[in-house]
Amino acid sequence: MRAKEAFKTPDTLIYAEARLAFRFAVLFSEEVILPVSSYFESELARRILHEHAGLVNIGCIKISASESSLEEHLDAKRRQYVYQSPRALFNAYRQDHVVSPPSYRRKPGGSSTMGITQRWHALLNTGRLQEILDPYEEFHFPKGLERVWETVPERLGTRAFIAPHALKILQKEGITQIHQSMLDGVIESSYISGYADALHAGIITDLVYLQSPFEVFVKCPNLSYTYLARMFTAVELHSLISRATIHNLIALKYSTTWSFLADCLLRQFPLSKQMLSFAEDAANILKFGMRSEQSTEASKHTVYTQHQTHRKGTKEYPVIGIITALPVEFAAMKQLLDDIKSLNITGDPNLYVKGTVPALHNENTDARHRVVLTMLKRMGTNSASSAASNLLRSFPTISVVLMVGIACAVPYPEKPEKHVRLGDIVVSDRRGIVQFDNVVRIDGTIECRDAPPPPSAKMLDALNLLEVGQFEDKRPWERYIGTIKEAMPLFSRPQLADDVLIDLNGKQVSHPNDRQRIQEQPRLFRGVIGSSNTLLRDALFRNTLRDKYDLRAIEMEGSGIAEAAWQFGQYYMIVRGTCDYGDGIKNDVWQTYASAVAAAFTRALLEQLRAEELNS
């Protein structure tokens, strides 16, 4: 409520803007998520939720926090806000509210306090502390600021990481030049961006009275309140959206009229006669409900048909297929898909889950890839080829198939740059797959027959972008590994003691020093992946294949996927997490973590692809 306190903005203006921004969010998103703190700490938020109880009841609105349940979150907050805390916050979690809370959704990725603490320390580590606190160099901070600043998170103990609590610690140490608004800038921006990134959500920005004065950077597209308000005013929908009944607002949200109009607004198309015509239909729906759209749909049949055809590949139908061999791989990949729904296709034995992942997007666009995920009935190249063929037949809009899951690591302790360990990531590069059981014997030698085609240039470009990001200390897959681990603790990384390599004489081999390897994180390798119907448990044969084909990993499905993709004229890529050394030593300890790293890298890879590249 900074607008009211600092600028004396009338309550009526604050309420009207908050209410309209809320309705914009409802119309433009599949789900509106509020931090639990907004419900408990803001009377305005509860008032708006009460007025929109109809949306709450059908699941359009949810509240979210990092704890496993709302009750657990309340217990944590009551410990964080003690008697010395601001009185309003202390009371907020200790009194009953008339308005019932919406359903609860757990926020992945850890608590907000963790994100704020990371940002707090990062300002010290990057040397930007005084730049952020005092960009205009108006103050002279004491020499001990950095030392005290570093101790604040620990000294907070169980108290909430909010500006008033942190300010008291700084002032107690004699640092009086820092004001609460300076700390608000550090804490609030971390809090908002942390929520948005963890939930893969956008936020409403550019509000007139309620806009945060602090910079907030989130990865998902945002909605500009001022832009939408101006456009809705231009097409005479502004006041109608504000006054519409819940029933008519929902009717508009799920109408074909709104599907077209929202798409034009998100793409920021200039006003056209067609947009004005659809805006007129939207106005009728807001006034009278769905009957108004049904009465005009016949006259616009041609327009709808053209519009749906244009959007067929981008909005409704999947363009990416992901195949896993094992339930553990399927579970990890499913955890990283958004908007998931189960799907059965008549005549197709595969069972599918449909979902979305964010795409690389231009500013002000909400680009997402439509994805289908399926699992093999059994392991092996034949089963993989059959499943991929069924997938491509059922979903002809798919242009890329990815095989995602576990594989055998191919170690090379004599050459650290080629030494693949357990829990690493191996991705097929331009040399693709070697099917080493599809061979021809000539004069006592064995040679592989026709090699499967390589992955597409588009997929390799995405892989290149992720490799470039590593030099900039950007490894987005690490965050997604954490997301899976948070939801399913069994997918945590095993101990280093469980990564045991045995030589051909049965003796344990020490892993070489590798400057490119980050402790407790997977290393990324790109190269040739060996594939066959043979379950490998032979270290000597593994090393022979390594030396002959320069392999990085060995698995059992990739060549089948590559063959099916080639038959249908589509592209493929293989993404593997390594879980054993193929040396006859039974070790399932790394399977869950290897599944997680493969799924996490797949999500990061797809986020480097523009939606229009695959839709074309």
User: 373-397, pLDDT tens digit by residue?
Assistant: 999 988 888 889 899 999 998 888 8
Does residue 82 belong to any structural domain of this protein? no
Does residue 5 belong to any structural domain of this protein? no
Tell me which of 272, 287, 312 is where a domain ends. 312
Please tell me the predicted confidence (pLDDT) of residue 311: 35
- How many CB atoms neighbour CB 472 within 10 A? 7
Within this chain, do residues 600 and 486 fall inside the same structural domain, yes or no?
yes
Please tell me the predicted confidence (pLDDT) of residue 194: 80
Overall pTM surpassing 0.85 (yes/no): no
Is a pLDDT exceeding 50 seen at residue 5? Answer: no
Within this chain, do residues 308 and 353 fall inside the same structural domain, yes or no?
no
Within this chain, do residues 161 and 278 fall inside the same structural domain, yes or no?
no
Please tell me the predicted confidence (pLDDT) of residue 8: 63
C-beta of residue 601 within 8 angstroms of C-beta of residue 402: no
Within this chain, do residues 329 and 442 fall inside the same structural domain, yes or no?
yes
pLDDT confidence bin for 297, thresholds 50/70/90: very low
Q: Which of 110-119, 176-185, 225-234, 300-309 has the highest mean pLDDT?
A: 225-234
pLDDT confidence bin for 301, thresholds 50/70/90: very low
Does residue 415 belong to any structural domain of this protein? yes
Rounded Cα gap, residues 391 and 374, in angstroms: 8
Is a pLDDT exceeding 80 seen at residue 287? Answer: yes
To the nearest 10 degrees (0 to 180), the angle between helices 163-172 and 145-156 is 130
Does residue 361 belong to any structural domain of this protein? yes
- 309-337 average pLDDT score: 78
Within this chain, do residues 412 and 546 fall inside the same structural domain, yes or no?
yes
Does residue 16 belong to any structural domain of this protein? no
In this structure, of 187-201, 211-225, 389-403, the range with the lowest mean pLDDT score is 211-225
Tell me which of 275, 293, 312 is where a domain ends. 312
Please tell me the predicted confidence (pLDDT) of residue 469: 92
pLDDT confidence bin for 365, thresholds 50/70/90: low
Instruction: Tell me phi and psi for residue 537, to 5 degrees.
Output: -140, 50
Within this chain, do residues 277 and 359 fall inside the same structural domain, yes or no?
no
- 10-14 average pLDDT score: 84
Is a pLDDT exceeding 70 seen at residue 463? Answer: yes
Does residue 417 belong to any structural domain of this protein? yes
In this structure, of 208-222, 358-372, 417-431, the range with the lowest mean pLDDT score is 208-222
Is a pLDDT exceeding 70 seen at residue 293? Answer: no
Q: Domain span at residue 262? A: 235-312
- 116-128 average pLDDT score: 84
Please tell me the predicted confidence (pLDDT) of residue 253: 87
Does residue 574 belong to any structural domain of this protein? yes
Within this chain, do residues 156 and 303 fall inside the same structural domain, yes or no?
no
**What would the pLDDT profile of 50-67 be if each residue is shown by its tens digit?**
888 888 888 889 999 988
Please tell me the predicted confidence (pLDDT) of residue 137: 67
Among candidates 423, 428, 454, which has minimal Cα distance to 598? 423
Within this chain, do residues 292 and 380 fall inside the same structural domain, yes or no?
no
Q: Give percent of the chain above pLDDT 70.
A: 88
Does residue 94 belong to any structural domain of this protein? no
Rounded Cα gap, residues 212 and 381, in angstroms: 54
Tell me which of 180, 199, 218 is where a domain ends. 199
Within this chain, do residues 352 and 300 fall inside the same structural domain, yes or no?
no
C-beta of residue 406 within 8 angstroms of C-beta of residue 578: yes
- 180-200 average pLDDT score: 80
Rounded Cα gap, residues 430 and 459, in angstroms: 10
pLDDT confidence bin for 443, thresholds 50/70/90: low
- 264-276 average pLDDT score: 83
Average pLDDT of the chain, as a whole number: 84
Is a pLDDT exceeding 70 seen at residue 494? Answer: yes
pLDDT confidence bin for 314, thresholds 50/70/90: very low
Question: What is the CATH classification number for the domain harbouring 478?
Answer: 3.40.50.1580
Q: Give percent of the chain above pLDDT 90.
A: 33
Is a pLDDT exceeding 50 seen at residue 310? Answer: no
Within this chain, do residues 457 and 562 fall inside the same structural domain, yes or no?
yes
Is a pLDDT exceeding 70 seen at residue 213? Answer: no
Please tell me the predicted confidence (pLDDT) of residue 98: 66
Handedness of CA 489, 491, 493, 499 (dihedral sign): positive
Query: What is the number of domains present in the chain?
Result: 3
- Taking CB atoms within 8 Å and a gap of at least 24, the contacts of 463-471 are 463/427, 463/429, 463/526, 463/573, 463/605, 463/608, 465/608, 466/524, 466/601, 466/604, 466/605, 466/608, 467/524, 467/526, 470/524
Is a pLDDT exceeding 50 seen at residue 294? Answer: no
**What would the pLDDT profile of 518-555 be if each residue is shown by its tens digit?**
999 999 999 999 988 878 888 999 999 999 889 999 99
Within this chain, do residues 344 and 435 fall inside the same structural domain, yes or no?
yes
Within this chain, do residues 288 and 417 fall inside the same structural domain, yes or no?
no
